């Protein structure tokens, strides 16, 4: 088993910042999704920041990034900085989620105004 969520993601999707290691495990995406689903916010953020430190780069599929940010926000719903980070990610990877990104930004603004 991989010791961190970041290692698991790196083995499955690759990493443009570090060489992909040969871990010897058979990789199935559904195992990674299960691990991501039940990971704590710190582990998810470490994965996102380790594999996609500049938001526009990295080899994580967009759907994995979106799910990861959603899971983090569910665990930390009162964090306007994370809402803005998630909104940035959504704006950079689609117009499909622009309305959600705008809503996250409005919610972050409202939290900071109070």
3-state secondary structure the chain: CCCCHHHHHHHHHCCCCCCCCCCCCCCCHHHHHHHHHCCCHHHHHHHHHHHCCCCCCCCCCHHHHHHHHHHHHHHCCCCHHHHHHHHHHHHHCCCCCHHHHHHHHHHHHHHHHC
Is the full-model pTM beyond 0.85?
yes
26 has pLDDT over 80: no
Q: pLDDT tens, 77-103?
A: 999 999 999 999 999 887 899 999 999
22 has pLDDT over 80: no
Q: pLDDT tens, 37-84?
A: 999 999 999 999 999 888 888 889 999 999 999 999 999 999 999 999
């Amino acid at each position: 088993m991989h010791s961190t969520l970041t290692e698991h993601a790196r083995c499955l999707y690759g990493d443009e910042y570090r060489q992909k290691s040969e871990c010897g495990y058979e990789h199935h995406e559904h195992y990674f999704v299960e691990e991501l689903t039940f990971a704590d916010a710190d582990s998810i953020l470490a994965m996102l920041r380790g594999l996609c430190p500049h938001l526009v780069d990295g080899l994580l599929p967009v759907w994995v990034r979106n799910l990861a940010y959603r899971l983090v926000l569910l665990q930390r719903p009162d964090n306007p900085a994370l809402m803005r980070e998630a909104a940035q990610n959504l704006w950079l990877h689609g117009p499909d989620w622009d309305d959600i990104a705008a809503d996250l930004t409005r919610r972050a603004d409202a939290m900071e105004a109070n």
